[in-house]
Structures are given as structure tokens and as C-alpha cells.
């Protein structure tokens, strides 16, 4: 899916939404923002926060950093290497979401140590993303437990149990 070089954030978002074959309403629902607000962003009437851009990027499955640059939160020239590095990490199919976020946090800590800090808006958006991804990982783990993909308790090793969960007396169950 090749993207054209469009001049502003709203046009770029509209193009990405259309490429993803989503209606304005579908994207608004997926991003957790209101339909009128997203429409105003696309028409250039509103400048969204880093957090909203993060939600929209996640819903579109594109790099949030690209949206930050288009919104003017990141300086394209100064932060090009950082954006590219982050994009490569986020695109790596061999890493799960939690690993990607941990790697990004380590990368950011080294940049900060070397005197390259990010803007407060971007930091807030990235922190929100890390929190959401950790919650998503936790929810996925719980869903796996509920769906039964996790191993069942090993009653074969421990033997039968009573109704209250204690081990049954082996001599009583043998007869």
C-alpha cells in the first residue's frame, strides 16, 4: 500500500483510512474517538493530541511517529533517524507487542541519556501506548486461560479432588 506525499495531516489520515477501506465511522469507533471529531481532524479544523494520534495510528495499523511528524509534534529532519528506528522495531514480525514496547523504552532511555529528549506530548502518547499494549497483553493472556488454551489442572499427577478442592483420600477412591 503505497502512500502519496500529501501535504497535511488530515489529507494523509483520509488517504490511510481509505487505503484501509474503513469508513469514517468505523475508524472513529476503532480509535475510540467521536465521528465528528475525526471528521474535523481530516478536514484540518482540529489538531489532535499525541494520544489521539496514537489511537488513530493503532486503529489504522500505521506508525504513530509518522502521524506525529505530520502533526508537527516531531521535527521531521531532526527526528528522522529516531522515527525510522522506531518504525523498524514496530514492523519486526519476530517480536511481540510487549517486546517491541520494552525495546522502544530502552532505546528512548539511551537517547535521553545522550541528550536527545522527546516532546512532552509525544512522551505522553508513547506512555499511553505502552500502558494500552501491556493491558492488551494481559487481556489476551486472560482470554487464553478462559478459552482453554492453557493446560488444565493436572489431576492425573495429584489424583482426584474433593468438592472443596482438597486431595481426596486415595484409599476411599480406590474402592
pLDDT in tens, 132-148: 555 555 666 666 666 66
Q: Note the CATH number of domain 6-71.
A: 1.10.260.40
Q: Return the higher-pLDDT residue of 35 and 79.
A: 35
pLDDT at 80 > cutoff 80:
no
Least confident of 20-29, 71-80, 116-125: 116-125
- Written as nine digits, the cell of 131 is 500502558
At 55 the pLDDT is: 95
DSSP string, 135-159: HHHHHHHHHHHHHT-SPPP-HHHH-
Contact 61, 138 (CB under 8 A): no
Summarize the confidence of residues 84-93 as an average pLDDT: 86
How do the domains of the chain map onto residue ranges? 6-71, 75-118
pTM: 0.47
Amino acid at each position: 500500500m503505497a502512500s502519496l506525499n500529501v501535504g497535511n495531516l488530515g489529507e494523509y489520515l483520509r488517504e490511510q483510512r481509505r487505503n484501509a477501506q474503513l469508513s469514517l465511522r468505523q475508524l472513529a469507533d476503532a480509535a475510540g474517538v467521536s465521528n465528528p471529531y475525526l471528521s474535523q481532524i481530516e478536514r484540518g479544523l482540529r489538531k489532535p493530541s499525541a494520544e489521539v494520534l496514537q489511537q488513530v495510528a493503532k486503529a489504522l495499523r500505521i506508525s504513530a511517529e509518522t502521524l506525529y511528524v505530520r502533526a508537527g509534534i516531531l521535527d521531521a529532519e531532526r527526528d528522522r533517524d529516531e522515527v525510522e528506528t522506531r518504525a523498524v522495531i514496530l514492523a519486526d514480525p519476530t517480536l511481540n507487542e510487549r517486546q517491541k514496547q520494552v525495546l522502544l523504552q530502552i532505546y528512548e532511555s539511551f537517547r535521553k541519556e545522550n541528550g536527545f529528549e522527546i516532546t512532552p506530548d509525544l512522551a505522553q502518547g508513547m506512555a499511553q501506548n505502552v500502558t494500552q499494549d501491556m493491558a492488551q497483553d494481559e487481556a489476551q493472556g486472560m482470554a487464553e486461560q478462559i478459552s482453554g488454551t492453557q493446560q488444565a489442572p493436572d489431576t492425573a499427577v495429584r489424583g482426584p479432588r474433593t468438592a472443596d478442592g482438597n486431595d481426596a483420600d486415595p484409599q476411599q477412591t480406590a474402592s
